[in-house]
Amino acid sequence: MSSSSSKLPLKPIPGDYGLPFFGPIKDRLDYFYFQGEDKFFEDRIHKYNSTIFKTNMPPGPFISSNPKVITVLDAVSFPILFDTSKVEKRDVFVGTYFPSVSFTGGYRICSYLDPSEAKHSSLKSWFLSTIASKHDKFIPLLRTCLSELFIELEDKMSEKGEANFNTLNDTMAFSFFFRLFCDQNPADTAIGSEGTSFANKWVFLQLAPLITLRLPKILNCVEDFLLHTFPLPSLIAKSDYQKLYDAFYKYAGSILDEAERLGIKRDEACHNLVFLSNFNSYGGLKTFFPALIKWVGLAGEELHRQLADEIRTVVKAEGGVTFAALEKMVLTKSVVYEALRIEPPVPYQYGKAKTDMVIHSHDAAFEVKKGEMIFGYQPLATKDPRVFENPEEFVGHRFVGEGEKLLKYVFWSNGRETDDPTADNKQCPAKDLVVLLARVLLVEFFLHYDTFTVEGGELLLGSSATIKSLTKATTI
């Protein structure tokens, strides 16, 4: 504990959970329908004059047995969720509920394991070594997949005058990760062109308790009952998931062989690989790439010119798109970090206190009891006005030069951007890969195009990006 934090006044945690059953229901309705998630938190921050307070988090009854949480919504308090010596990460990957293991072949997948559990280290080590072994494929494979995306993008623009980037990105992202892990184009397997629909349905059923379909208000009660009251059965996606599993089992043989060598059962390894590829990886790019394109598009032509100049100059000097070239693109790197800061692909983090502890905000200290659930909403922590100037504004050069010092407050990966994933922590094993892929996306985009305009919107999870105009590159 620093001397400054030790001098903060110790205060009781403000807020309350309301009446049993009715309190969680009220908070759920506020969260989904009456306020929306950002306003839900912002109103309570103002009401309690504190970024740390008590509330209930959806879904509540009857999916979650205990929806009570203590929020940490600033850059000082949020990192407590990364300290696995103080918080337990067992079965809290998606929140205060735990989807049935029938979605994953009867196994608790690595994402739901606490590092103290024996299987966590072996599975996470296998993930890290698998990703590292594919190092040489990252850039050329993504460039191939993006070239296919750009062909489709230009066809859509010619045909309709606009293009939904999300749909094109879904196909590209699924194809990339399947090729990466299975060395096969999914179109040439039994999956065919249906991989995204299989994965989307399977992921949706697990995350439905956290989703609103944004239906007309008259249907809110119906939606709330159907999505947020009882878990949706895995049976709905059973055949689709089986097709994904069978494809990975057939084509990812060398990866599964390595898992067996490490003492992991082959079928358990395959279920974990399907989750890593389709929930973590595909799901991550499904959310993040459209957000990146949205924010860059809305930033305007001046940023586009600066990115194009940097990217084309470095690529020409380095003789291609290489790891060394990407490292020299300081603005491109900053833009990716800024997109991760302003709209992190996974907005929620949870952890259960392993012991009595004191947590700190900027202004006060609070006692948390063993067993209490701590919850963080990342988009508020990474837009902390006490850390970031103009936090609601997308500033492409924010992390250039001296701005790099702020990277320790970019939390998107279940850890600080300045930290590294290990077998003993819960930071995303593909953290560095995601950053690399996002840089390659920008590089390829601005090698092909000078500028573009975009219309942003909201989806069930994340943003939509509709390309409205596209200007091909005049210089390479």
**Structure tokens given for 289:** 């790439």
Q: How do residues 260-292 score in pLDDT, each as one tens digit?
A: 999 999 999 999 999 999 999 999 999 999 999
Sequence-ordered list of residues with C-beta below 8 angstroms from that of 246, at least 6 positions apart, any chain: 190
Chain position carrying tokens 């380095």: 318
Residue 1 in this model has a pLDDT that exceeds 60: no
DSSP helix/strand/coil, 398: coil
Chain position carrying tokens 């009781």: 12
Residue-level pLDDT at 226: 96
Residue-level pLDDT at 474: 86
Residues 377-401 have a mean pLDDT of 97
Residue-level pLDDT at 461: 86
Q: Which of 228, 157, 205 is nearest to 467 (CA)?
A: 157
Mean pLDDT for all residues in the chain: 96
Residues 226-232 have a mean pLDDT of 96
DSSP helix/strand/coil, 449: strand
Chain position carrying tokens 């280290």: 121
Which residue type is seen at 428? Answer: C
Q: Which of 332, 172, 175, 147 is nearest to 247 (CA)?
A: 175
Cα distance between residue 206 and residue 103, in whole Å: 8
Express as a percent the part of the chain with pLDDT over 90: 97
Q: How do residues 157-209 score in pLDDT, each as one tens digit?
A: 999 999 999 999 999 999 999 999 999 999 999 999 999 999 999 999 999 99
Backbone angles phi, psi at 73, to 5 degrees: -120, 25
Cα distance between residue 474 and residue 252, in whole Å: 42
Peptide bond into 59 cis (omega under 30): yes
3 pLDDT tier (thresholds 50, 70, 90): very low
Q: Which of 376, 378, 380 is nearest to 391 (CA)?
A: 380
Q: Where are the alpha helices (DSSP H) in 319-424?
A: 323-327, 330-342, 378-381
476 pLDDT tier (thresholds 50, 70, 90): low
Q: How far is CA 320 from the centre of its chain?
A: 29
* 320-324 long-range contacts, CB within 8 A, separation 24+: 321/139, 321/143, 321/440, 321/443, 321/444, 321/447, 322/139, 323/139, 323/436
Residue 26 in this model has a pLDDT that exceeds 50: yes
Residue 4 in this model has a pLDDT that exceeds 70: no
Sequence-ordered list of residues with C-beta below 8 angstroms from that of 303, at least 6 positions apart, any chain: 296, 335, 396
Residue 6 in this model has a pLDDT that exceeds 80: no
Q: Where are the alpha helices (DSSP H) in 161-281?
A: 165-182, 195-207, 220-228, 238-251, 253-261, 266-274
Backbone angles phi, psi at 337, to 5 degrees: -60, -40
DSSP helix/strand/coil, 377: strand
Residues 450-459 have a mean pLDDT of 96
Residues 216-229 have a mean pLDDT of 96
Residue-level pLDDT at 5: 58
CA distances from 11 to 48, 52, 53, 253, 367 (A): 12, 10, 11, 56, 8
Sequence-ordered list of residues with C-beta below 8 angstroms from that of 251, at least 6 positions apart, any chain: 182, 183, 184, 189
Q: Which of 113, 146, 425 is nearest to 289 (CA)?
A: 146
CA distances from 412 to 100, 192, 300, 406 (A): 26, 32, 24, 13
Residues 55-77 have a mean pLDDT of 97
Let me know if 33 is exposed, middle or buried by CB neighbors in 10 A (0-12, 13-18, 19+).
middle
Pair 312, 378: CB distance under 8 Å: no
DSSP helix/strand/coil, 455: strand
Residue-level pLDDT at 54: 98
CA distances from 116 to 45, 88, 90, 154, 193 (A): 34, 9, 9, 50, 40
Cα distance between residue 6 and residue 2, in whole Å: 6
